[in-house]
Structure formats: structure tokens, C-alpha cells
A and B are shown apart, each in its own frame.
Chain A
Amino acid sequence: MSFPRFQAAAWDEPLVLELGRPGRRAQLAPEVEDEVALPLADLLPAGVAREQAPALPELSEFEVQRHYLHLSQMTLGMMGVNLFGTCTMKYNARVNELIAARPELAEIHPGQPLQTLQGVLRIVHAFEQILCELSGMDRFVFQAGGGADAAYTHACVTRAYHAARGELEQRTEVITTIQTHPCNAATAAAAGFDVITLPLGPDGYPTLASLEAAVSDRTAALMVGNPDDMGIYNPEIKRWIELVHEAGGLAFYDNANFNGVMSRIRGRELGFDACMYMLHKTFGAPKGGGGPAVGAYGCSAELEPFLPRPLVTRDDATGSYGLETAAEAPQSIGKVREFWGNVPVVVKAYAWTRALGAEGIRDAADLSVLANNYMDTRLAQVRGVARSNPQVTQHRLEMTRWSLAQVLEETGVDVHDISNRMVDYGVDAPWLAHEPWLVPEPVTPEPGELWSKEDVDTWIDVLERVIEEAYADPDLVKTAPHSHPIAQVDASRVDAPSQWATTWRAAVRKGVVPGGPRGAAGAEAPA
């Protein structure tokens, strides 16, 4: 085993509000000609002018550039090894970033005449066809600004579907499972539904009996992921969908964990009425620390009338592309977000599917599941590491959840400590688990198809080494990190009103800036 020697960049970088000197400039506005340069008093109605300038920093252009380059260097991202589970971390092809930055995409307006948008419409339309192929659904829409927003879209479509049948007052409940992503429960509730959450059964997924007990004429929809974040596939899902359909509800497939089953199953063939893909993760567009994102929402022809608009259309006679607006779709839910969606993310996802093709997509699924099973064989031998739901002995899909409860019990070192220590080796923290934690001290790595066997080995070696450290020198782990620009953050008080500060002005006013303000613009900030 060899361990990466790692030392993160440590710039001791002040906040941008503490930098600069009065009078410096980083951008100048174009000036207007003298005869147009009317005084503001002639251009603004009385009483609306700003009186006190905002306390923003005053820097030269290079100083701003250097500051944010320093901050980027103090962000690990995927510069080391990052097997962040539930997110299907992929290579984010640089060529896609360069294409998206071209003015033919970056500098177009959604309100342009359609004949000037034929290139982007063609790509969105072609990508919709690709997702229809992969899922078996009949239509896709890209308006949702993330996976959670696609779940919300489904909750809105569910309202409209039942309203059209005169059953909305009656159908007040959405059923989900405890291992389905929290956004499903949350968006159903935000759309006004009561949420029923099914617990896990003895086989690692909820029992059919628990679903039967929950389904009724109040059921509006089932919102469920499969496989779950433990890599366990619910083999009864077709029966689940039948039960929900028999009761008059809709079945929504949260395909967040699509990577392992790409091209092996199609949601529509299982009976699902609608589904969601995360284009910013599963389809090769970057996560960006949390967006810009797209939750691609697909559905059956029966639900198409309720989709948010616009939808992209193609005139087969002329080969030209257009948009169908809400005005042409009286049953449409309208909008969940302005315009058509994060179009550059759609273009990047399209580019990813074109780079791989059908065979490449199947290879990606195979390699993801293969790499995870390789991890399984090695992790099973690491001291203190236990596979979740050990009674499920079959091979897991693209990720497996592990428990480090034994390590905590025997050393007092918990998974947060382990995460903090792993980053000392340039391996970014693993995903643990969504709330609530059913598996104690959870860790959920996902190697995907991107990372090499050597990277996966490094990750496992580092985990093993950190666990050895936990047994030999627990304080070393509990006080980690030691190779980063800052020590372990003490978040114990940030939920106290007197201590939290989400802005510099609040932090200065409350006196909670560790070490005190360092001067410059921000010191004059409080108002």
C-alpha cells in the first residue's frame, strides 16, 4: 500500500470584504456620451435613489481574480479521489464546458424568434428522444432546476391529474419509502399532500404488506427510488405499481440511482407513469457544488397534457423545431421555473450520451456495478467495516452502504472524524447517508465508471489506514484535519441566533468573526 502525500493549499485568504483600498476599481462601466449624461435626478422619480453606497470591496481586477483563484485552490472537488455516493460522479468533459461557453449557447435569449434557435431546439429535441428510449416514457421536459424540482414537478402533475378527474379533494396522500431521497417526501408535502413513509422490511426494502396497508382511495401517488442507496433493488416493484394503479394513484420513479441499471431496465416497462433523471450527475454534466442542475422529468402520454410548458416540438414535414406553450395546453400545470430549463446542462447531457452511444452507456452501467462489487470484496475485509443489511447476500448494484459502528464503539472515532481525516490524504469525504440514519455510522462510497481501479484502491487504502489510526491514535483522527488550510470547524453554536451569521454585516454586528475583522471595506459595513 502506498499513501498519497498531500498538503492542501493554505492561503490564509481574508474575506473579499476585508480586501482592497478605497478608490481601486476592477471593472469600469461603459460611459455614455455627454449629451445623454443626464443627472440621476432627471432620470429617477423622487425618493427612489440610493443614499448610502453598499459596503462592497474596492479591488483591482487582478486582485479579484487572484482572490477567487485562491479560493478555488482551497476547494478539493474531484482533484483527489472522490467516490461521493448517490451522486454518480462522472467525468465532466471539458469539451462540453467549452461548447456551452460559446455565444451560440451562452448568449441566446429564450424569447428569440424560433428560427434563430433551431440549433438548440434540435439538441433539446434529440435529447428528449434519447431519454424516451432509455426510460420508455413518451415525453420529457427539462424545466425543473434539479432532481428535487423534478420531484416537485411530479407532485404538481399529480395535483393536475387528479383535479382533471375530479378526485383531488379525495386523493390527499403520497406514499414514499424511508430510503427514497428526502426530496420526494418534502416536495409532496410542499405541494400539499400528506406523506406516508414506508419503513424497511426484513429483506432490505419495505414489505408488500406495508404498501397494501398504506394504499387506499386517498392515494394520489407513489414516489420511490429503486435501487436504493444501499444498492438494494426492490424485486416487487412491479407489484407495487399495480397496487397503486388499482387504487387510482400514479407511480413516480426517482431515477437518482440510474447509473447501475442504465439500459437494463426501463421505468415505463415496469409500469411507472413518470420518472426523473439528474442530468447534472447521471448524464455527465457537472454537479457544480450543487447546480446549475436539471431534473429531467419524463412521463407517459396520459400525463403529457399536464406537463409544464413549453415543450419542444418538431414539424416532420419541414424538419423545423418549435415550442408548444401553455396557451396551447389548457391542462398544463403551467410552470415550476421560468423558461425552458438549464439549457446548457441539457446540451452537456446530450453530448455525454453522444460520446458514449448505446453501447457505451451499457458499458458505463456494467463498469459502475463492477467497480462497486470490487470495492465490496475489499471493504469486507477492512477492520470495523460492516456491510449494511448483511442478510442481503446478492451482489449490490452501483453503491453499497457500509457501517463503521464497530470503529466508533471500539475507538470513539465516528464517521465525521474519519471523513475529516480522509481528506488529509487528498481523498474527499465520503457521502454518509440521508436523514434518518437507519445504518449506524454510515458511509456510502460510489466508484462509478470514471475512477480507475488504482483510485478505488487508494480510497480503500486510505480508509483502512485511517481506521488503523483510529485504533492506534484516536486523537490524531478526532482532531483532523491536519493537512488543510483550517482545522476542524466547530459548528456547535451556528444554530444559535446570537451566533449564526450568514452575511459579513451580521457577523460584524454580532461580534462573531473569529479573530475579529481584518479591516478594509467590511469594517465599515454594519448599518
Chain B
Amino acid sequence: MTRTAHPYMANSAPALRQELLDAVGVSDPDALFEQIPADHRTRHAFQLPPALRSEAQLQRHLRTTLAANVSCEANLSFLGGGVWQHYVPAVCDEIAQRTEFVTSEWGTPASDLGRNQAWFEFASQLGELLQLDFAGLPVYSWGCAAGHAIRMAARISGRREVLVPATLDRERLAVIRSYCAPPQMADHIAIVEVATEPETDALRLADLEAKLSSRTAAVYVETPTGLGALEPNGAEIARLARAAGAETIAGVDPLSLGVIAPPGAWGADIAVGPTQPLGIHMNCGGGVGGFIATRDEERYARQYPTLQVSIAPTRVPGERGFAMTLFEQSSYGRREEGNDWTGNSVYLWAIVNAVYMSLLGPQGFADLGTTILRRSHDAARRIGALPGVEIRFPHFFKEFVVSFDGTGRTVAEVNAALLERGIFGGADLSADHPQLGQSALYCVTEVHAREDVERLVAALAEVTA
């Protein structure tokens, strides 16, 4: 170690390293690895790319490499389907960068007070949006939240079947399948599809009734659905499920809840959904997170796999602190006897979610939902007016299905032509949902201005002509 110290390692300066070696009484650090048998040690000559020890070099390398990406700020994007482009307020970015939060660990309830309060404010504000009063810290994603919720319902009911909409998003379904385990496993949960209405994508109630049985642990229903459509029969679905002794699990977009009825109001038992819309950048899909919330009843609370933050008293009367509740039922508390498992998740983003909800407030959620509804419906109306182009489901929040069947073009062809015009067209549904033919899922949010919609419609007119 004759070179200069490394900026990330305080004791790497040669003299300082020697000071430690002297204090420990060895001449070479290798002596400290005496526990590792010689035949365990590698003789591999590591071929790693050369070090970029200066920050200037490193920054240049990362910046120039990433410059090969084309962002959704550079191009006009209509991609959604599990991760969506929304405006991220600057204050969200500031708080997400606060080094105290970024480096926080697991201290004491006093030294972590600010973070724990922010987590409690995440759950509290989510509870207001959902009209539910028990929520855990977030899990990895919406699909993971749905998977855990289904397993909660299976534990509650002792039943091993879940009903899901036939048009469920394939990405989410693949995650749910993992959580439900293959049929060879003793704890397998069977996934049974319920037909949806071809005109609205709403769950077909007759098929739901036919498939509900004493085996049904839960009905999983989404609004908006994976295809963007609003489910008009939530209360009836919850009633039918309850009559069959099953739980109703609602998957909802929290950003819609300023204008759309919350799951707690229409009888859902467990609500799950994405946290990314609440102030988190898309991050190439790495922005996803998921929430789980229920009524505050032991029946549900004791099945949570997550960590939960409760308000709690301190030694000083009238003073508030926060503590983990029901920790002992987690995998930290009981290893394999705990509920599923938990671990590091997206807790920094829970703080950002709290900031986002505080920034919007009640009127902000109502206004934003209204703007998204208006902008997306205007876009759909204009796109649907193009010859041969059809909008499939009339009632939606921010995503809608565009069928290009009447144009004789495939979605792949349309999107390739849009890309030449600097536009990311909607996600191609033709492989995942063949019954929809050549259809794409378009996402329109508050980031889209009128001229963006006009530009898209003009480009679509050209490429489908």
C-alpha cells in the first residue's frame, strides 16, 4: 500500500494502516484470515475493469455511459403498466437525498425518531386515502403486496384458492404465482381466473358467483384494472365474497383516490397497491414498491408479514414516540414460524411517499385525479377518432387500451414508427392478452400537456394511414 489513500476508506493511508497493524501486532493483514483454510482461498487472478479512483473520472464514465439512454423527458412517453410517469415534486427529491435518512440504520426509538415519525406519517396518510386504519411498512412491489395479501387471506380462512381477474397484468400475475407456490407444494394456493366483461374489463359477476366456493380464500380485484379500467361493482364483489366466507383483496392506484372511492368505503378487507406513483421516479422499474392495509382488527393485524410502526408513549407523560408493533410475528422475531418473511424493502421511499401525500393534501389529490381523468379521456377520444383505431374500455383512470386491429398495423409496427418520431407508444398487449388483438396500453397523466396529446395523435394518424 504505497499509493495514496482511497477517499472512501479513512484508514487506507499507508501510515494509518500501519498504525492499526502495529496495534493488532501483525505485519500483514493476511495473518488475520487464519480461520480460512488454505484450500478455501482463491488463487484466481481477478479481472475487474480498471479502478476510477478519482470522482471526476468516475462521474464522467457513469454520465457518458448513461447518456446512451433516451429518457421519458427526452422522448414523449405513453408507457405505464405497473410503473408510471408522474410528476415528482422537487421537495420529494430533496428529502429523498437527505443523508440522515439515506444512511439511517436501526438505532434507538429516540435516535431514529424523525424517520420513525415519517414512516408513521406514511402509513397514516395512506390510511386516510384508503379509508383503512392499519398499514404496514411497504413491501417490494404491488405484486409482492398482492402475493402477501393472498397468503394472509389463506392463513385467515384456512382455504387455498384465490380468484383473480382473467385480464390481470402478466407481470403482477407472475409474482403472485411465485407467492402461491407450485401445485407440488403442500402450501400451494390455486389461482383461479374469473372472466371479465369484454366491453368494460369489469369482473363478470356471474362467473365470480360460479367460482366462489368453500375453497375460496380470497377474491383479488383491481380498480383500475391492469388494463386501466375502473371496476364499477366493487361493493357487490365484496358482498359476494363475504357471503362465501372469503376475503376481498383490492388492488388500487393510490393516486386515483382523490376522485375514486377508496377500498375501505366499498367493503374491501385488504387493500394493496403501488407506492411508486406517490413521488418516486420510474427508475427503469426500480421505483416500484407496494403497500398492504386493512381495517384495524386482530384477524388481519396478526397476519401481517411486514414491520409496523405504532405511536407509543415515552417515560415522560404526554410525550410521543414510536415503536415497532407485532414485531414478534415477523421473520425477524420468529424465523420460519413468522408470517412469510420481511427484510430491507423500500423504506426510504416510504418517507418520500409521506412527503408526496403531504404536498398534495386533500385538494391536491382531487385536482390531480381530475386532471388525469380529463387529460387521459381527451387523449383517448382523439385517438379513438382515428380511422381504424378503437378504444376498448370506456371507463378508465389513466391507462386505456387502444386497438389497432382496424388499421391493419401491428402494435410493433406502430411503435417502431412512433419511435422514429421521438415517441414511446403504449405497451404492446398482443402477446400477453391475445384476445385483445393488436392492442396497446396507453398511459396519460398530468405530465402530458395538450400539445403532447396533439403530437401523439398527429403521429398516430401518419403511421396508421
Contacts and interface: CB of A to CB of B under 8 A. Distances in A.
A246 B298 CA distance: 46
Given A119-B68, A183-B341, A337-B144, A31 B286 contact: no
B312 A490 contact: yes
A77 B99 CA distance: 8
Given A27-B359, A99-B59, A145-B141, A123 B65 contact: yes
B165 interface: no
B341 A65 contact: no
Contact of A502 (B10, B36, B174, B325): B325
B351 interface: yes
Nearest to A193: B185
B316 interface: yes
Nearest to B366: A53
A86 to B, nearest CB: 10
Contacts of A364: 8-9
Interface string A54-69: 1111110100110111
Interface string B302-345: 00000011111111111111111110100111111110111111
A270 B40 contact: yes
Contact of B63 (A64, A97, A99): A99
Interface class of chain A by DSSP: loop
A148 B63 CA distance: 31
B312 A494 contact: yes
Contacts of B10: 450-453, 455
A56 B48 contact: no
Contact of B431 (A120, A327, A354, A357): A327
A159 B301 contact: no
B33 to A, nearest CB: 6
B310 A500 contact: yes
A363 interface: yes
Given A40-B259, A335-B175, A500-B301, A374 B66 contact: no
A34 to B, nearest CB: 11
Given A49-B261, A89-B105, A360-B51, A30 B230 contact: no
Contact of B128 (A151, A235, A269, A525): A525
A428 B175 contact: no
Nearest to B313: A514
B371 interface: yes
Given A99-B63, A119-B68, A514-B319, A338 B310 contact: no
Contacts of A347: 62, 66
Contacts of B11: 367, 370-371, 449, 452-453
A401 interface: no
A374 B358 CA distance: 47
Contacts of B174: 326, 334-335
B36 to A, nearest CB: 6
A17 B6 contact: no
A295 B141 CA distance: 14
Interface residues of B, number: 217
Contacts of A479: 315
Interface string B240-260: 000000000000000001111
Highest count of chain B CB atoms <10 Å: which of A37, A99, A188, A355: A355
A211 interface: no
B172 interface: yes
A273 interface: no
A66 to B, nearest CB: 10
A353 interface: yes
A468 to B, nearest CB: 20
Interface string B114-138: 1101101101111111011111110
B344 A287 contact: yes
B239 interface: no
Contacts of A452: 10-11, 16
Given A344-B286, A355-B58, A159 B140 contact: no
Contacts of B139: 145
Given A45-B230, A123-B65, A233-B36, A288 B261 contact: no
B365 interface: yes
A497 B298 contact: yes
Interface in A403-439: 419-420, 423, 428-429, 431, 434-435
22 contacts: A29-B364, A38-B374, A49-B260, A74-B113, A109-B79, A110-B284, A145-B345, A147-B344, A185-B335, A185-B336, A287-B344, A289-B105, A290-B344, A290-B348, A339-B82, A435-B334, A452-B16, A500-B326, A502-B133, A503-B296, A505-B128, A514-B319
Q: What 5 A-B pairs come out closest when comparing CB atoms?
A: A357-B51, A339-B285, A148-B343, A145-B140, A186-B331
